[in-house]
Structures are given as C-alpha cells and as structure tokens.
Structure 1
Amino acid sequence: AAAHGDLKTIKRLLSGGTPPNAKGARGNTALHAAAAEGHTAVIRALLAANALVDSRAADGCTPLCRAAEHGHSEAAATLLVSGADPGFVTPKYSTPLFMAAEHGHAAVVEVLLRGGADPECWNPAGESPIYLAVQNGHAEAVAALLAGGTHPDTTTPEGLTLLQLAAKAAAKGDLKTVKRLLGGGTPPNAKGAHGNTALHLAAAEGRTAVIRALLAAHAPVDLRAADGYTPLCRAAEHGHGEAAAMLLASGADADFTTPKHITPLLMAAERGHAAVVAALLEGGADPERRNPAGASPIYLAVQNGHAAAAAALLAGGTDPDSTTPEGLTLLELAAKCGQVRV
C-alpha cells in the first residue's frame, strides 16, 4: 500500500494496530517503500504514527537513502524535517548526497545540502559527491553542489581537476558540466595530474566545444604542463587539426619549443597528421625549424612514409631541395626508407 501511495489503506492499517515499523522484503519498512516512490502524504502519515525515520533495510539504507536514490526531493525534505540523518553512511560508504549526485537528482542535492549534508565528504575510493556528478555528466547537480559549498578546486582520486574530468566526459557531449563548473568559480587554469590543465586535456582529445568554452573563460592558451607541452602540442601530437586551428586563432605560439626542443609542427609531421600540419603552417609555423638532431618536419614526414603530411609541408613553403642531416635529398631519403608513396 505504501509503495502504491494508497493513503486510505495505510491509515486504516495504522488505526487497526499494524506496527509502522514492520519490515518486509529485504528489510524495508513501509516508510522505505513510500520514500522510494515519493509518496509524501503516506510518509507524513507513517511519521505521524511514529515510524522510525532512520530505520535501516537489509542493505543498510534508510528511507532518506531511498528518496535520494530515486530523486524524490519533497519526500527527502519531509524526512529531513522529521529528523532523518543527512550524513547517514551505508555499509558501502555511500550517503544520501552521494546517491543523489551520482544519479543527477539536483533538487534532492539542494534539499540535502539545506538539511545539513556535508558536500565535502569522501568515500574510501577518494570520490566526493561532485566527482560523481561530474563523472556522470549531471550538470545541474554539479551546479547545486557548487552553490551548496563544494570547493571548486577539488581534485579527483586520479589527480584530475573537476574541469579536466568534465573535459574527459565531454567525449559524451558533456559541455554543460564544463560550463557549470566555470560558472561556479572553478579556475580554468587549475592544474591536475602531470601539470595538465583542462585545456591540455580537451586539446589532446580534440574537444573543440570544450576548448571554445575554456578559451572564453580566459584559460591561458600557452600554459605548460609538467613535460613542458602546451595545449597546442597536445592537439598536434594527437592529430586534431580543428583543435589546433582554434588554439592558433586564440594566440597559441605556433613555434613553441618544448624542453626537448620539439615544436608542434615536428610532432605533427612525424606522426603524419596532415590536417594539423596545414593548420600550423597557416598559423605561421616555421616549416624549416629542425630538432636537435638536425631533422626538419619534412624529413620526419618522409622518413615515416607520411605522404599527405609531406605534401602539406611542401604546399606550405618547405624547400623541396632540403637535405637531411646525412646530406641526402628528400627523394634519396624516401628511396632509402622504401617510401614509394612519398
């Protein structure tokens, strides 16, 4: 009756002496069942009959856990007003706030935070409510957590910033979460694992919409990671031509040199990313800039059999009469390496 919201039957049973705390399948009480379905009138009737607000089912969950898990904010508020513990921890180290955040129930998140839930609690895996909300792409829950006191500089167990985690989730189209984080005060230049920013990660994965949002929030375009790479280096290395063009249009240094004296053009040419090569040359990259071993971009493209990249380099101003560090012409290098297509 509680699960179906049958208030008349509930009242009749209670007045007839049915104990409000009787447990049924899986140790659930009628209050658990009503909370799971969001039947607030039934919840009020059960509480008025002295139903235990924090009774535990066989899985260790309270009625508030059920309301949080299933997204019933009014039911959650009713339970909290009656003394439900907002910080209750289940045997699996979850809390109502964890459940609501993981499932994207923003209204429940707001109710729990107003009721005293701790937004900075962590489970044994090092995960926080906002980590779960960001990871699962729940932008509104993220916004509610930030508004409720979650620190925007929180990092994940893997050492990622929240923006980096959202940028990874953007592979699933999660641009809303990125924007919510930026709007909630998350710094766009915060560094996470290996000194990468969200812009580095978005560039490495070619997430142009995320790149655009980060640049609009004034993310530094040439900030260096621990290995000395800029976001443009990441885009060049992984072959994302549109991302590279976007970064260049925002002022990225086309000829930036890493601590190992490698430029984005050398990276793109060596890996055969012709679209990136074209974008870099259009953005002003020097086609004749060589690495410490004396290898030029076209040397690397020819040596590795990347015909399209070699063609892009020639079209972009590379001297066709260039010679290799060994004194070979480009044709001789192609023949030596067996690169017939080049």
Structure 2
Amino acid sequence: MFITPEIDFDDKLANLYPLHYAASIGNVDDIVKLCHLNPSLASTPIGESRHTPLMFAAYHDQYQAIRALFSFHVSADDVDANQFTALHWAASKASTRTGDLLITQGASLNSINSEMETPLSRALVQKNYPFCLFLIEKGAATHYRNVQGQYPLNYAISHNYRNISIALIENDAPLETLSLQKYTPLLQAASSANDTVCEALIKKGANIRYVHPSNKNTACHYFATHGKTHLLKRAFKAGAFFDCPDNEGFLPIHYAAQYACFNTLQYLHSMVPRSVDSLSKRGFTPLASVIILYSTFGSNESIARRRQIVTYLLNHHANPNALTDQGVPLIIKACEIGDVYIVEALLKAGADPYVSNQQGQTCVHLAVSAGNNALLKLLSKHHANLNARNVFHQTPLSLAHSLYLYSTFMTLLELNAVPSLPPSTIFNGKPENYKYAKALLEYGAFPDGRQSPLSTLASIMESPMYLVIAHGGNVKTAQLLLDFGASTILIDTPDMGLVAPRINELLHKTKVLDQALYVSLRTDDYLSLKAKFYNKDGALKSKAPTIRVRDVHYADTTEKQNLLLSVMRIQHKNRLFELLSSHYISYFSQRYTNQIQHSPRFREYVTLQENYPRLKFIYKLKPIRLGKFGNLPLNAIHRVFITSEILDRFPALQPEDIKEVIKSLCMLDRLAYKLVDQRLNAALAIKPKNLHSNPSSTTASMLPYMQLKATCQKDHSDRKYFPEHLKTTGKRSSDGERKGNTKKLVNRFSTR
C-alpha cells in the first residue's frame, strides 16, 4: 500500500500505523508512549512509500510532534521513495517555525527530490509564500531548476510573486536564467509590467540588451508598450538602445504609439528623432500605428491620448500621407474610424483628401457610409471631391440615398454636391423616395434627367418621368416632376398604354394649361406678362394661369422670376385656404350643432347631422371625432390641420402668408356659428324625406359649405369677416360651374 502524508487516516489505517497517525494529528503522548515501547518505530517508514512519522508531522505542521520525534534521535534528512525529505513536505504547507526546527536539527536546505525540486522550489509550486521567504533568508540555493527546467526566479516572476522575486534578486539569484519560453527574468518582468521587479533587476545589473531569440523583443519594447517611461530612462542609463527593431520591424516608439502612451512616445522621439517616420517590415510608421489600432482601445481616455499623439507626430513632421500595411492611405483609415479631430489634423498637415481605397471609396464616401455629417463638412472645407464615384459608380449622394441617410443626403446638397437625378433608385414608386427626389429638384436637378426635353417618352428609358410610369405610376411624384419643369412634350409617345390614366390626364392637363404660358415667359416683356396676371387695380385676376416652380425656372429674367414668385405666393395662399376652409366649416358647424342638440329644434339638428357625413364624403375630409377635437382651442386646431405634409404642397408660402391664412380661417368660426344659429331654418328648407330619397344630391350634401359661401357673398354686413382671396379661388376649368351654383344658392337661401 502506497500511503503519503496527504492521506486521511481511517480507523483501519490508524490501527495499522498508530505512530504515523499520532504524528499527523500531533498526539505527543501516544508518540512518546509508542517510541518508549519500541524506539526504532520513530524512524520506521511505511511500506513502499517509505514515509517516516517525521514526514507526516512536518506536512501537517505538528511542531510539538516533531520535537518529540527528534527526542528519539530521528534523522532530519531521511528520504521517501521519491527522494522527499521532511523539509520538502514541510515546504508544502507548514509554518516557518516548523521549517526552522527542521533546519536546526540538520535538514538540508538544498536537497533535491526526484522531480529536481529543492525545498524552495517545492514551496514556490505549493504557493507557500512565507516559507519561500524563510528559505531564501536561510540561504537556500536559487540556481537549481526543476524537472520542467524552471528556475526559482523565473517561476516567481512568471507567477507575479513580487516579494519572493525581490528576495531572490537581493539574495543573488542568477539574473540571466532563461524560462521555458527563453525569457530572462528582466524580459519576463517587463512583459508583465512588474515595475518593482524591473527596477530591482536593472539595479542589480541584469542584461538590458538581451534580445529574445524568436520575437526579437527587448525589455524596452515592453516598457514602451506599457508606457513605463521611468523604466526606459533607467534602461537608457544602463546602456539600452531604443532603435532595435523586433521581428516585425517595430521599434519601441511604434509600441508606444499603438498603445497610446503619449509621454513614453515623446521621450522615445526625443532620444531618437529620426524614428518619427521609421517603417516596420509591413510599412507601418508610428503615425500609422496609432491610427490603425484606434478602435481596438476605444476608451475615452485612450481616444484623447491618440489625438494628442497624432498632433505631436504631425507637428514633428511625420508623413500625413503614409500608408497602412494594405496600402491604404492613413486619411482613409481615419475616415473609416470617423474621428473628425484626427482627420482635420491630417488634412492640415497636408494629407491628400482625394485618395481612395481599393473599392474606390473616397473619404467622402466613408463619411457618408457612417452618416458623419460633421466629417462631411470638414472634408468639403478642405475641397474634397463631393461627386467622386467608387467602383460601383456611386457618388456620395447616391450612396446616402441607398442607405436612406436623409440628413447626410441633405448635408451633401447644402455643401453643393451635384444634384443629378439618379435612375430608378429614387423614381421607383417607393413612398420614402419622394422626399429625396423633391430635395434633388429643389437644389437644381434637371427634372428630365440626362435626356433632352424634346425626346419622346419611349426613347428615354432612364428619364425620371419614364421611371415613375414604369414603376407603377406614382401620381405624387409625377406631379412633383411637372411642378419643377419636367417636359410636357414627353406625352407624345406611341405607347400610351404605359401611362397610368391619372398621370396621362395630368400630363395632358399640364400641357394644355401651360402651353400658352411657356410661350409668354420667353416672348412677352415684363409689363405684358404682368398684365396677364394682375388687373389694373393691382388685384390678381381670377383666371390667371397657375404658376409652378418650373415656370419660375423657365423665365428668362430675374424681374420675371420675381413676378412669378409673387403670383405663386398668392395662388398658394388661396389654395391652402380653400383646402382647409371646408375642414374648418364642417368642424365648427358640427361643434355648434352639438350645442343645440337638447333644444326644441332637435329635428333640425338631426337633419344637419345627416348632411355632415355627405359633406365629408364630397370634400374627402378627415374623420373628426368631437371627443378628440371638441374642446381644443383654436391654436390646437391649427396644429391638427396645418401639418408639414400640407405645407410641403405650397413651397412658395412664407410664414406671414400662413399666419394670414390662419387668421382668415379663424373668421370662419363666427361664420359657422351664423350658419347654424341664424340660417338654420333656411338651410333645412329641403324636407328630410328628400334627403333620404336622394342621398347623393350634390346640392343637399354641400349644403353647409355652399350656404355659408352664399350667405357671405349676399350679406354685405359680413364682408369684413370673409377672406378676400376666397372669392378668386378654384381651378380654372370649374370656375363657371362654381359661379352658377353660387348664384342659385344665393337666390335660394336668401335671408328672410
């Protein structure tokens, strides 16, 4: 049976080996009793393992038991089957008092077991730190290595046993022993940033110039990596060189740059000034090192130090157009990172803003991909090309759209990127693309794309209008193109089946209405053109042609353009009022009608309620729930009805125009009240059965709105509340019909 001191005795073993058991538990009485009976038992080993009672007592730190055994003249240097002495076993976990007793009784400090361990090596492996220090103080040899080839000093440093390492150094442990990885103690301590041990080794005279046979690193490379400037200064005094490359060609300054150690880099550069542009085997300069590893160590503190290093290196004439190991210019890498500060520093130092990577991506493309508007503005300030194309033929503008980065898209336009209309990427019928198309047109994109305005629709496969039709016929986009001047001659195509009916109607209508205007814009002088729009009293003519954005562009003089803009403002103001007035009238009519629902005039209320849904159907009003809107003040009603989507349809309006429209709409509140309160009987002159018998009757369903309009035009006392421009609104094609209806209603619903 192989029994070691680590074993836990059971009853059977305790009976078989009573003296060993008594030694392990420190039962001095049993030890003395048994040894008196048979003194030879004190040194008798157990079976094959050859462990003596002294070894059991030493392992279990039984100080009194050891003293008792020594009183029977046992040897302190007896060995077991593995050449372990009692001091080896004590080194595992015993106290220094036990070790001192063993040494006093003649135990050898440097006996070696079968694993080539001395008691000191054993204590290190078993992490018995106090015992290690004790053995070192007692003069244990420090030059022995174990069966794995580990020296005590190398082992202590590799496991960061700082106090033990210092003790070994101070007690003359060899300083040039090599670890299994061929590291000297100094190289080990430097790689683990163990400042105290490094200082002790340098002070003791460790070889500061040792070069690792594989990676060619010196201690200075590690000092630079960890930013240990004070150790570099000590190393320099000890004879270190700072221009020794490792196997990658990196100098210590490269590592200081990579790990953003600014003070260290500054010191190394001051010692070796030419190292500012030193190249590694892969072509890295220190400047490239600090930028390439930017994202790897991305804490706020590291970023601040990296910016500081970039500024320092550039101020000391580092090359701003250096390349990475893949041949990519540093400014491209900086733009990929997106740090505006570093990009600006490179540009100020002379970096080329026109370079690109292997995919043809310029700095501007990279800024767009990241949605970095601040970087875009910086690049534009330094004259970067905002219209360059990558290998996929994408400009920064088309790239911003493909990524649906609207803010970046608008920033490019504001920075004067060429607003050319791309092919189907924008005019493909998707609702989210409308705002991109609108922005391009507003910034001067040609509404017919790259084709001639005189080309036929069938021949311009990439014209915006053709693409609108080919991708489902988005009427809103078609109207946008026409508003900005898309050619109406495009409708002259033999294949009219391509054109959606609503767009076909829109194209024909635009051409018929505006053909004469197109001629006038170029042939008439300013006064003749003004006479087409204004009466002699300065009022806008009711039949004046509708002005669109494209008409303003088409005018050949600034004077004419300003004239058209003023006309368009008035027309847009009228159109906005006409659009919203029906909403307001229906809303306030319903509101005031609800106030009389408990009055004796309940029948009139019911009848007017029947009219209200028809009014909403005719004018396509939004559903109004009085529970939601009934108690809102007027300014809240404005926010409900006057939205950005509505105002986008009237680009000529100025803030003062919108205020005027709101003021006019507020007057409808009083008029709606009069409609309900004063003219209710006249408004309900038609019998209820007639309403039900002909529910689609235009006259009945439009009753509240048309009655209000007729009342306002008939009753001159109310004229001051009625907006002037309402009289001249409406499309030209339906003007006569409206006037006829108004005249009939005025006659029919006159005051009593």
TM over 0.5: yes
**In structure 2, what is the Cα distance between the partners aligned to 1:41 and 1:324?**
90
Letter in 1 for 2:467: L
1:19 to 174, 187, 190: 174
- Equivalence for 1:122: 279
Call closer, same or farther: CA 1:14–1:193 in 2, change over 3 Å. closer
Check whether the contact 1:221–1:230 (CA below 8 A) recurs between aligned residues.
Answer: no
- Equivalence for 1:29: 184
**In structure 1, what is the Cα distance between the partners aligned to 2:211 and 2:426?**
62
**In structure 1, what is the Cα distance between the partners aligned to 2:365 and 2:478?**
25
2:426 to 269, 275, 293: 269
Check whether the contact 2:473–2:499 (CA below 8 A) recurs between aligned residues.
Answer: no
Deviation at 1:243, TM superposition (A): 1.8
Check whether the contact 2:427–2:437 (CA below 8 A) recurs between aligned residues.
Answer: no
- Equivalence for 1:299: 466
Call closer, same or farther: CA 1:143–1:29 in 2, change over 3 Å. farther
Check whether the contact 2:202–2:234 (CA below 8 A) recurs between aligned residues.
Answer: no
1:98 to 237, 254, 258: 254
Deviation at 1:210, TM superposition (A): 1.8
Deviations 1:45-86 (A, max 9, x none): 322322111213354321112122333333334334543332
Letter in 2 for 1:290: R
**What RMSD over aligned residues (CA atoms) do the two structures have, in Å?**
3.9
**In structure 1, what is the Cα distance between the partners aligned to 2:326 and 2:170?**
55
Deviations 1:111-155 (A, max 9, x none): 322231623233343333322322232434433432343211223
1:61 and 2:217 correspond: yes
Letter in 2 for 1:152: P
Count of matched residue pairs: 317
**In structure 2, what is the Cα distance between the partners aligned to 1:112 and 1:326?**
78
Deviation at 1:270, TM superposition (A): 6.0
1:250 and 2:415 correspond: yes
Letter in 2 for 1:85: F
2:245 to 67, 81, 89: 89
Counterparts of 1:67-78 in structure 2, within 5 Å, are 67-78=223-234
1:187 and 2:351 correspond: yes
Q: Which moved more, 1:90-99 or 1:229-238?
A: 229-238
More helix by share: 2
2:450 to 260, 285, 290: 290
Deviation at 1:313, TM superposition (A): 6.3
**In structure 2, what is the Cα distance between the partners aligned to 1:36 and 1:306?**
69
Runs of 5+ consecutive residues of structure 1 not aligned to the other structure? 255-262, 335-342
**In structure 1, what is the Cα distance between the partners aligned to 2:478 and 2:325?**
42
**In structure 2, what is the Cα distance between the partners aligned to 1:331 and 1:219?**
45
**In structure 1, what is the Cα distance between the partners aligned to 2:379 and 2:473?**
33
- Equivalence for 2:267: 111
1:152 and 2:299 correspond: no
Check whether the contact 2:369–2:403 (CA below 8 A) recurs between aligned residues.
Answer: yes
TM-score (norm 1): 0.73
Deviation at 1:162, TM superposition (A): 1.8
Deviation at 1:39, TM superposition (A): 4.7
Call closer, same or farther: CA 1:27–1:233 in 2, change over 3 Å. same
Check whether the contact 1:106–1:141 (CA below 8 A) recurs between aligned residues.
Answer: yes
**In structure 2, what is the Cα distance between the partners aligned to 1:235 and 1:299?**
23
- Equivalence for 2:85: none
Call closer, same or farther: CA 1:313–1:119 in 2, change over 3 Å. farther
**In structure 1, what is the Cα distance between the partners aligned to 2:253 and 2:229?**
12
SS of 2:353 mapped into structure 1: coil
**In structure 1, what is the Cα distance between the partners aligned to 2:179 and 2:494?**
83
1:279 to 435, 439, 443: 439
**In structure 2, what is the Cα distance between the partners aligned to 1:304 and 1:74?**
70
Letter in 1 for 2:261: H
Call closer, same or farther: CA 1:114–1:291 in 2, change over 3 Å. farther
1:167 to 325, 335, 339: 335
Counterparts of 1:197-208 in structure 2, within 5 Å, are 197-208=362-373
TM-score (norm 2): 0.37
Letter in 1 for 2:412: L
Higher relative contact order (CA 8 A, sep 6+): 1
Q: Which moved more, 1:134-143 or 1:1-10?
A: 1-10
SS of 1:119 mapped into structure 2: helix
Call closer, same or farther: CA 1:287–1:101 in 2, change over 3 Å. same
Check whether the contact 1:71–1:105 (CA below 8 A) recurs between aligned residues.
Answer: yes
Counterparts of 1:313-332 in structure 2, within 5 Å, are 314-315=479-480, 317=483, 319=486, 322-323=490-491, 327-328=495-496, 329-331=498-500
**In structure 2, what is the Cα distance between the partners aligned to 1:326 and 1:95?**
75
2:310 to 137, 142, 151: 142
Check whether the contact 1:39–1:75 (CA below 8 A) recurs between aligned residues.
Answer: no
